Structure 1
Amino acid sequence: MHLERVLCRNFRNFEELMIDLNPNLNIFLGANGQGKTNFLESIYLMATANSHRSSITSEMISWDQEKALVQLLLRRREGKIKLAMRLEKSGRQVEINDNPLDKVKELLGYLNAVLFSPEDLKLIKEGPSHRRDFIDLEISQVSRYYNHLLNKYDHILKQRNNLLKSIRDGKSADREMLSVWDEQIAAVGSKIILKRIEVIDKLKILARLSQRKITEGRENLELEYDISLNNFSKKLGEAELRELFIDSLIAKRDQEISRGYTVIGPHRDDIILKVNEMDLRKYGSQGQQRTAALALKLAELEFMKSETGEYPVLLLDDVFSELDGLRRKALINIIADKIQTIITATDGENLSGLKNNSYNVYQVKNGRIKRG
């Protein structure tokens, strides 16, 4: 798949913008604060139905405007698709080929994209929520059903937590109602856990290969799903996992009531990353952590290709200046002529060796983008 055209109107600092893209390589150059990241954000927003920078719609609308529009022309194997998102301070509306969709999340799956930015070190260095978000977004881009499960789980979790707080605060004595919520959260949560494990098992093979290529065989990267349920085994089927989930909730009953929230479940799980059997988050060097972040992103590309039959669009936000020669070379070799790539940089100094036979260069300044 590749993007043919991007149109932005009153989005961030873009008053009116229409850019035709090269199906291979696109390089956007400009000083910081001119709009390079805004351009990538407009694309990522259409791929994931969320901005990677803000959850507040009004922040994406130009400060003196009431509405904004992002429209993409996408080519997939089955033909051209027009995606549009209309943003207002009261909410967002999405369209596919001029047909409105009921929910913004229905946009998922049309455009697949992988974003790599300096912020991705958080995936390695910071708390479990970053790694849960990583795996959930990865799966949601290729499975709308999984995204439906996440939304359903969040709703059940909120209701269950409200009841736990009410019991703790003496506003409700209906402890029996917890059993009803136990059944529901275990049913949905078990499906989420099993899907995460399935995808992590695929990703860890791809990430291990990428890590070995980047480090010329010196480092082995391992991914392990760290589940919050006691006595878990990967041999468990869905029904057995559901029963284990319920038993674990019952065992934690007093603790949960005391705290007023659900202490186990996929919302508390983590992904452990190890290099040469060493916990990367706790003991890895900055270089090892950067390499692992890059390896995970390269694994994302291959995973999406295996699931959809097409490579996603790759968005690289000022990352070449952050990579040393070895990592830069590994990334260039992956990109070469098979993945539509959109790169931002302050200058072209770190991009030598990247330009192939087919590429476009754009200059970004004060919310305006010109080719050449």
Structure 2
Amino acid sequence: MFIKDIELTNFRNYDILKTDFNQNVNLILGNNAQGKTNLLEGIYLTSIGRSFRTNKDSDLVNFQKEMARIKVNAEKAYFDTSVEITIKKDSKKSIKKDGTTIKKTSELLENILIVIFSPEDLKIVKDEPEKRRKFIDRELCQIQPLYYDSLSNYKKTLAQRNTYLKEEAIDNSILDLWDVQLAQYGARIITIRDQFVRKISGYSGKIHSSITNEKESLFLEYNPNIDLKDDIEEQEGYFYDEIKKSFKNDLRQRTTTKGPHKDDISFYVNGINMRSFGSQGQQRTCALALKLAELNLIKEETEEDAILLLDDVMSELDIERQKYLIKTLKENQLFITTTDIDKNLMTSFPDAKLIYIHNGKITEN
């Protein structure tokens, strides 16, 4: 699949932008703080209805305006599709898919499939667990609407339970209502995450081995905060029991201490934990393998080639990793932001469309 064109109105630092794209490679050039990443953000927004940079939709609206609009047209294997998102500072955003307003964001999923790779992702191995949970959630929300609904409901329930735990007097019967819901949604999340990590570990292991000329073997391990069980019913019951056991600790800390909001992933290369003992080069190779594995998994799950957004990441990779990345991305539409016209990029992508951005405006050559 590929995105054919985009329209931005009052989005970030763009007043009005309209442009079409190359179905293979698009190089987005310009100095820092001109709007290159904002353009990628607008593209990404149409995949899951959320930004990869902020949780506040109001941040996306030009600070001098009250409303922003993003619209893309895309071509898929068997049909075309369009997504239009309108964001108002004082109300909920509205989303149209193929001209029809949708009621839930989950109806947008599995439509425009996008993987984002930024310098922040290069730190996914060594940074805090929250970054790794976001990686799992971002990918699974695209390809599994059931996961998106379960995660959304889990977060709402968790926030309500945590607020109630701060009350002076706790009614156990009221708390139990949230405990039941947390167990229900949390069990689904844990089960789906386990399946996902197993699959992504297989793909990333093969890619990592290829990048390192068979010298290193990568394995991903899911570290759930609640022990894994054999089936969803058993998982739900066990989760509920664990929440009850942690009640005194939760009450003392005034927050929920058990659940998938505490999960993590471990990266092992040749049996060595990369977070604690991996070099920066090894950690970056793990991150690259992980991102390329995302593309493979999406292809397996949807039979579509996902779009890859490379946000100022090429300069962070050494020449060998750059070459591997370029060599393997023959079927995917690419959007690459960079501050300079890199000779290696120009040689590798002679037919790329060049989009120059300055202060929220573009010129094309």
TM-score normalised by length of structure 1: 0.93
Report how far residue 98 of structure 1 moved.
2.0
Distance in structure 2 (CA, Å) of the matches to 1:86 and 1:179: 38
CA deviations on 1:245-300 (whole Å, 9 max, x unpaired) are: 12222222211121122111111111111222222112211111111111110000
CA deviations on 1:60-109 (whole Å, 9 max, x unpaired) are: 22222221111000111231111101121123111112221223453222
Question: 2:22 is aligned with what amino acid?
Answer: N
Among candidates 268, 286, 289, match of residue 292 of structure 1: 286
Counterpart of 1:17 in structure 2 is 17
Counterpart of 2:123 in structure 1 is 122
Among candidates 252, 259, 264, match of residue 253 of structure 2: 259
The alignment status of 1:371 with 2:357, answered yes or no, reads no
Counterpart of 2:215 in structure 1 is 218
Counterpart of 2:108 in structure 1 is 107
Give runs of ≥4 in structure 1 deviating > 4 Å. Answer: none
The alignment status of 1:67 with 2:72, answered yes or no, reads no
Counterpart of 1:97 in structure 2 is 98
- Say whether the 8 Å CA contact 2:123–2:283 is kept in structure 1: no
The alignment status of 1:160 with 2:154, answered yes or no, reads no
Report how far residue 200 of structure 1 moved.
0.8
Report how far residue 233 of structure 1 moved.
4.6
Report how far residue 352 of structure 1 moved.
4.5
Distance in structure 1 (CA, Å) of the matches to 2:177 and 2:50: 32
Report how far residue 162 of structure 1 moved.
3.1
Segment drifting more, 115-124 vs 54-63: 54-63
* Structure 1 residue matching 2:143: 3-state secondary structure: coil
CA deviations on 1:12-37 (whole Å, 9 max, x unpaired) are: 12121111111111111111122111
Report how far residue 5 of structure 1 moved.
0.5
* Structure 2 residue matching 1:73: 3-state secondary structure: strand
Seq. identity, %: 37
Distance in structure 1 (CA, Å) of the matches to 2:44 and 2:129: 22
Segment drifting more, 48-57 vs 68-77: 48-57
Equivalent residues in 2 for 1:187-226, closer than 5 Å? 187-226=184-223
Distance in structure 2 (CA, Å) of the matches to 1:275 and 1:190: 29
Segment drifting more, 269-278 vs 56-65: 56-65
Change in Cα spacing, 1:60 to 1:178, as seen in structure 2 (3 Å) is closer
Counterpart of 1:270 in structure 2 is 264
- Say whether the 8 Å CA contact 1:93–1:104 is kept in structure 2: no
Change in Cα spacing, 1:38 to 1:138, as seen in structure 2 (3 Å) is same
Structure 1: give runs of 5+ residues left out of the alignment: none
Change in Cα spacing, 1:78 to 1:21, as seen in structure 2 (3 Å) is same
Segment drifting more, 105-114 vs 38-47: 105-114
- Say whether the 8 Å CA contact 2:123–2:284 is kept in structure 1: no
Counterpart of 2:348 in structure 1 is 354
Counterpart of 1:343 in structure 2 is 336
- Say whether the 8 Å CA contact 1:207–1:221 is kept in structure 2: yes
* Structure 2 residue matching 1:53: 3-state secondary structure: coil
Segment drifting more, 82-91 vs 175-184: 175-184
Change in Cα spacing, 1:270 to 1:256, as seen in structure 2 (3 Å) is same
Distance in structure 1 (CA, Å) of the matches to 2:188 and 2:16: 44
- Say whether the 8 Å CA contact 2:122–2:288 is kept in structure 1: no
Structure 2: give runs of 5+ residues left out of the alignment: none
Distance in structure 1 (CA, Å) of the matches to 2:193 and 2:33: 37
Question: 1:273 is aligned with what amino acid?
Answer: F
Counterpart of 2:303 in structure 1 is 309
Counterpart of 2:180 in structure 1 is 183
Question: 2:325 is aligned with what amino acid?
Answer: L
Question: What is the RMSD computed on CA atoms of the aligned residues?
Answer: 1.6
Distance in structure 2 (CA, Å) of the matches to 1:157 and 1:14: 37
Segment drifting more, 302-311 vs 217-226: 217-226
* Structure 1 residue matching 2:71: 3-state secondary structure: strand
- Say whether the 8 Å CA contact 1:69–1:84 is kept in structure 2: yes
Among candidates 246, 266, 273, match of residue 240 of structure 2: 246
- Say whether the 8 Å CA contact 2:13–2:360 is kept in structure 1: yes
Change in Cα spacing, 1:65 to 1:179, as seen in structure 2 (3 Å) is closer
Report how far residue 354 of structure 1 moved.
2.0
